[in-house]
Amino acid sequence: MADTLDFKWEGVADRPIATKLLVRIDSLKKTSTGLFGLGNSPSVGGYQPDPHTLRGEVVSGPAVLAGRKFALELPGYKAKALTAGAQAGLGLVADRSKEGRDIVVCVAPAPEGAAAAQWLADWHCPTD
């Protein structure tokens, strides 16, 4: 299972969270929007406002995902509170994208250390 999980970001749209993951953020970088910023146009499929690419590793969650590397492109306003080297919670819904990717609908910075497991158990996905 050396391949990287390729998560897809979507808005929560009143969907319940099926899986919560605690992840370590390896890197968080502004995503290139291509020549003249054409990839940052709302008319382009898969558009994310001010896209950022988050890469990391699943620290805890279902056994099939724990320890796996992942990549996620998310909107910049969701990436603001995240920091490389820190932990975060990701909320996934039960359905998958038409491309067969797991869908992430929320993200939040998580505490470090022993408090992280309890934080993840208590964490509720924001609805904005």
What pLDDT digit, counting tens, does each position of 113-125 carry? 989 999 999 999 8
Average pLDDT for 90-109 = 92
Please compute Rg for the chain using Cα positions. 14
Is the pLDDT confidence value at 128 over 80? no
pLDDT in the model for residue 126 = 74
Is the pLDDT confidence value at 103 over 80? yes
Sign of CA dihedral 7, 69, 71, 21: positive
Which CATH architecture fits 5-32+46-122? Beta Barrel (2.40)
Q: Chain-centre distance of CA 1, in angstroms? A: 19
What pLDDT digit, counting tens, does each position of 23-43 carry? 999 999 998 655 444 545 544
Work out the pLDDT band at 61, boundaries 50, 70, 90.
very high
